[in-house]
Amino acid sequence: MSDDQIDQLFAPRRDHPLITVKWVQEMEKKWMKHDTPSGMTSRCDPFRADWLRCADGLNFGRAKAECRLELEDFLECLQCNKQQARQKAILQQRDKLMKEGKYTAPPFPES
């Protein structure tokens, strides 16, 4: 995640000096692809907890600098950008190998 993207993430809340649980919950709702059923924890809760432990009580500027890795892990869990990029690269490589005749897809199993 670039510095510009992180700045955009923090921009709406620069007026609020500290990172709070409520702010993180708002961001999670914004980035979650689907809601979890009532009573169940999100798959991203461990990453959110790590980031909150790091950023608790810090202002946004310090949290951005000191907790960058935790924030990137949390956002990757929510958005899956790296995972999608990796999948796209794998499919492109497969297609390239198929065009070159170096790879043949296995047949679908018959039911």
Q: Given this model, what pLDDT does residue 110 score?
A: 79
Helix (H, G, I), strand (E, B) or coil at 15: coil
Give the pLDDT mean for 72-99.
Answer: 92
CA distances from 111 to 68, 72, 76, 106 (A): 48, 43, 37, 15
Question: What is the rounded distance in angstroms from the CA atom of residue 83 to the CA atom of residue 103?
Answer: 23
Contacts of 105 (CB under 8 A, 6+ apart): 94, 98
Give the pLDDT mean for 46-56.
Answer: 85
Q: Given this model, what pLDDT does residue 33 score?
A: 47
Structure tokens given for 33: 């692809």
Q: Given this model, what pLDDT does residue 88 score?
A: 96
Give the pLDDT mean for 65-85.
Answer: 89
Q: Is 27 within 8 Å of 9 (Cβ atoms)? A: yes
Q: Which residues pair with 59 in a beta bridge?
A: 18
Residues in the chain: 111
30 pLDDT more than 90:
no
